[in-house]
């Protein structure tokens, strides 16, 4: 079974055809757009697929394989700066081994046909084996959150800010830090908020960085103060690191008018990148221990369950996951139903889709879930995970009749 972990997906990814068409138009970006997809040179977006098979699940899997084969020469040409025709010819297994996730950018489907625009995100370290030294990294991949505080309003990906655009322009520069900039999908807007930036709970951050195939989080904060409308702008830039938001440095800049805002932010990006680079050289930019321990556990678990159990049939289920806590609870439930379960996330969002394989297939899965008070409900093409209704309470027993006594003489 192809193991695909989806890093980015909008809420309600699979919907009615008309809704999917609208979502596709909103999500379309050229693959060369540095801010598209996962915000990384290793993400190839805008790949159109149209596959027909016996079932929609078979068509979906075949489409993912087709998208990976189309994306590989594009990635190789981008990193090696050579024509796509010169890309090494790799087997299905080699390409599949490099892929970290599939991003849905809008899809339509029927009972036997799957049409979609997909993005393919490659694993940086594994792809480096096929592109020589082009893909070598000086730092592990870091999730970058550009936090802008302007006029008292704090935003990360909720809208297209000038601060985020400045980081998009910077991605083409030479830097020792491997930044992964979120694409601004509906799921990003839900999880990567200014409120999340202020949280220090490692569990929530752990779930987020795993979805972006990163090992830690960086928060580049920009605070703008306008002296008067259209006049001078003062900016305070702060480089933060880790779930606790540890400050690595700050700098202050100023421009004389609104016309210089883009230049001001570009200088701020350059300054924060220099702070991160210096912290990396000094050994201060290390993976947060609270996050790194869990990432290691995830990797170890993945190695242990990377092969489907014998005599198992994959089952694709849909789970309602409006937030991190509900998704984490669903993952714990599925991993805990048996010791030989293989679970792969294939899409994450308001409705997440998770492929589960265990001996006995769907029947065994239903039995194991029922023992924990959960069931699978068929809704259209989806098997939806839902909590089973509580059994009716037993009727109370009537009170026992008092014992008969002999009347006194």
pLDDT single digits (tens) 169-182:
876 555 678 788 88
Average pLDDT in the chain: 74
The reply to whether 127 falls in a domain is: yes
Residue 36 is assigned to a structural domain of this protein: yes
| For the chain, percent of residues with pLDDT exceeding 90 | 16
Residue with more model confidence, 359 or 21: 359
Domain for residue 298, yes or no? no
Residue 166 maps to a domain: yes
Examine the domain organization and report whether 219 and 281 are in the same domain. Answer: yes
Stretch among 103-112, 210-219, 371-380, 398-407 having the lowest mean pLDDT: 398-407
Domain boundary among 84, 113, 136: 136
Q: Is residue 408 part of a domain?
A: no
91 lies in some domain: yes
Are 38 and 157 found together in one domain?
Answer: no
- Same structural domain for residues 232 and 164? yes
Residues 113 and 165 in one domain: no
Residue 232 pLDDT? 92
Q: What is the dihedral of CA 241, 245, 247, 253, to 10 degrees?
A: 90
Neighbours of 162 (CB within 10 A): 16
Assigned domain for 310 exists: no
Domain that holds residue 372: 315-387
Query: In terms of DSSP H, where are the helices of 305-406?
Result: 324-335, 361-370
Is 371 a member of any domain?
Answer: yes
Domain boundary, last residue among 115, 136, 157:
136
Statement to judge: residues 52 and 111 lie in one domain: yes
Are residue 147 and residue 278 in the same domain, yes or no? yes
Tell me: do 110 and 172 sit in the same domain. Answer: no
The answer to whether residues 350 and 371 belong to one domain is yes
Average pLDDT over residues 323-342: 74
Say if residue 160 is in the same domain as residue 221: yes
* CATH number for position 169: 3.40.50
220: pLDDT confidence band, cut at 50, 70 and 90? very high
**Are 172 and 281 part of one and the same domain?**
yes
Of 30, 7, 1, 292, the residue nearest 122 (C-alpha): 7
pTM of the model: 0.45
Higher pLDDT: 297 or 122? It is: 122
Whether 161 and 282 share a structural domain: yes
Which of 120, 136, 152 is the last residue in one of the domains? 136
CB 135 within 8 A of CB 124: yes
Q: Which residues pair with 179 in a beta bridge?
A: 142
Residues 281 and 239 grouped into a single domain: yes
Domain count, the chain: 3
| Cα→Cα distances 401→14, 81, 261, 394, 398, Å | 61, 92, 87, 21, 9
């Amino acid at each position: 079974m192809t193991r695909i972990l989806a890093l980015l997906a909008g809420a309600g990814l699979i919907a009615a055809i008309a809704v999917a068409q609208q979502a596709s138009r909103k999500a379309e970006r050229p693959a060369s757009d540095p801010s598209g997809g996962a915000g990384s040179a290793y993400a190839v977006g805008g790949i159109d697929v149209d596959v027909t098979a016996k079932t929609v699940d078979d068509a979906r899997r075949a489409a993912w394989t087709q998208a990976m084969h189309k994306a590989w020469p594009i990635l190789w040409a981008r990193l090696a700066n050579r024509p796509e025709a010169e890309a090494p010819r790799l087997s299905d297994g080699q390409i599949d081994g490099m892929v970290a996730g599939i991003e849905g950018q809008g899809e339509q489907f029927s009972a036997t046909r799957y049409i979609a625009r997909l993005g393919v995100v490659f694993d940086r370290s594994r792809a480096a084996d096929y592109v020589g030294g082009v893909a070598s990294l000086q730092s592990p991949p870091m999730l970058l959150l550009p936090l802008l505080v302007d006029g008292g309003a704090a935003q990360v990906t909720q809208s297209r800010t000038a601060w985020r655009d400045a980081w998009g322009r910077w991605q083409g520069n030479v830097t020792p830090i491997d930044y992964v900039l979120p694409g601004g999908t509906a799921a990003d807007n839900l999880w990567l908020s200014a409120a999340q930036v202020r949280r220090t709970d490692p569990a929530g951050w752990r779930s987020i960085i795993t979805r972006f195939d990163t090992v830690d989080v960086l928060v580049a904060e920009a605070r703008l103060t306008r002296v008067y409308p259209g006049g001078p702008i003062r900016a305070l830039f702060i480089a933060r690191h880790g779930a606790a938001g540890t400050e690595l440095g700050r700098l202050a800049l100023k421009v004389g008018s609104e016309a210089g805002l883009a230049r001001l932010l570009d200088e701020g990006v350059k300054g924060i990148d220099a702070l991160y680079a210096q912290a990396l050289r000094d050994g201060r930019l290390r993976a947060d221990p609270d996050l790194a321990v869990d990432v290691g556990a995830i990797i170890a678990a993945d190695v242990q369950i990377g092969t489907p159990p014998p005599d198992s049939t994959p089952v694709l289920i849909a789970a309602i996951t409006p937030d991190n806590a509900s998704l984490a609870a669903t993952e714990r439930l599925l991993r805990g139903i048996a010791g030989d379960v293989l679970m792969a996330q294939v899409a994450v969002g308001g409705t997440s889709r998770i492929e589960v394989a265990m001996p006995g297939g769907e029947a065994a899965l239903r039995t194991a879930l029922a023992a924990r008070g959960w069931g699978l409900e068929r809704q259209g093409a989806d098997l939806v995970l839902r909590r089973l209704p509580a059994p009716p309470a037993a009727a109370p027993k009537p009170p026992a009749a008092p014992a008969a006594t002999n009347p006194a003489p």
